[in-house]
Amino acid sequence: MYAKPAEDPARLNRERTYEEILQACRLMMRHRQALAYPMLEKYVLSYVDVHTPNAALLSHIIAESLFRRLDSTLIEGKNIYVQKFDIPQITMFYKMAQAYPHIYVSHEIANQYLAQGMRHEEEVTLLDIGVGKGVQVQRLLTRLMLDQTCRIKRVHIIGMDPDRANVDDARAALMDLQQIVPFKIIYHPCEGCFEDLSLSELDALRRVGQGAFFVNAAYALHHTMHPPGDTSYRTTLVERLSDMRPRVFTLVEPSSDHDTESLSKRFHNCWQHFGTVYDLIDESGLSPAERFSIKETFVGREIRDMFGASDRFRCERHETYERWLFRLTRAGFSFVKGVDVEFSLPSYGESWVSDGLIRLGYNGLPLIAVFAVTADAP
């Protein structure tokens, strides 16, 4: 007789938590909040800190967000306390990249595709949708500077971002870089969102720079908001990008379906995706305090938006890489081929590589997809 293997208490507890919150979501979808409230309430912890297990922290953030979405007064009496740490915001940003190395690796992959398309041109224009502080584009231009075969003389950067401070900071960073690169950098600020531009404005934007035209959108397009149930909005945006005929368009996006209006499906996908991200963060060499702050503050902000905001106004709407793939193909894009991309993930990271599509993941689950496609006329 073989002894029956002992059950893993932690695994059983995760499974029970998942099933109960999933059932609460289903009840809420049927407008039976009174039955869902007690099921969720026990997961809203009065105190979370570095010792809170991943599943407990994730369920706490989701349950808290669901309460706030429906009625914030329901948890006012819980006196929720989150342990805080005196870690500056900019330091936390770099800690996040260290804990989740796939993010910077995805930037480097996109930059290699862009650089390969640019290096033999004398003048190029890059529309960077969601330029942020200009970190990725700085690394792209540095890569071109170090390439001995690069023929570029002038680079036009259209820095698009809804935050004016980001637009200005990107300009300052590129002007500093101008001191060391051998080509001329011309910066064109564009405060706003791609989805807000009319067709005439997009046409004018396409004619801002000179030379071969390129587009980069890293972690930007999943923020585009649309009415509940609208499945065509982002397809239209991708078609408009195709109409701009970019030599190379690099798209970097998380891969999970949080755009669904089904609360139970959104919960399932969030539990799978961010539960894996939490485990990935634990692989880093960061201290428990740093890992906790990243999970609760940085990642927690996205989760709270997914469950705590109205479906009409929430902005964290990740989609699967398959859906982006369908959208790009339908818009007339084709994969960029023949580029030997080199990148390095930690030993625990995973990747799936094909022409024009590289997926980065952990524990068998793709977390991020990097696309490199073209709509340039042959």
The amino acid present at 269, given as its one-letter code, is N
Mean pLDDT score of the chain: 89
Quote the CA–CA distance of 59 and 55 in Å, as a whole number: 6
Quote the CA–CA distance of 128 and 106 in Å, as a whole number: 15
Percent of the chain with pLDDT over 70: 90
Q: Is the pLDDT of residue 67 over 60?
A: yes
List pLDDT tens digits, range 177-203: 999 999 999 999 999 999 999 999 999
Percent of the chain with pLDDT over 90: 69
3 state SS of 32: coil
Nearest of 267, 309, 262 to residue 62 by alpha carbon:
267
The amino acid present at 15, given as its one-letter code, is E
What is the dihedral sign for C-alpha 293, 299, 301, 307? negative
Quote the CA–CA distance of 53 and 31 in Å, as a whole number: 31
pLDDT at 364: 96
Residue with tokens 């791609």: 194
**How distant is the alpha carbon of residue 156 from its chain centre?**
25
The band of 260, judged by pLDDT with boundaries at 50, 70 and 90, is confident
Domains in the chain, CATH or no CATH each: 10-87+265-308 (no CATH), 97-257+315-374 (3.40.50.150)
List pLDDT tens digits, range 290-299: 899 899 988 8
The amino acid present at 181, given as its one-letter code, is V
Determine the average pLDDT of the residues in 313-334: 92
- Residues with Cβ within 8 Å of residue 131, at least 6 apart in sequence: 137, 157, 159, 160, 161, 166, 167, 170
Element (H, E) at 166: helix 164-177
Quote the CA–CA distance of 155 and 289 in Å, as a whole number: 42
Q: Mean pLDDT check: name the lowest of 120-124, 163-167, 248-252.
A: 163-167
Nearest of 155, 113, 127, 138 to residue 342 by alpha carbon:
113
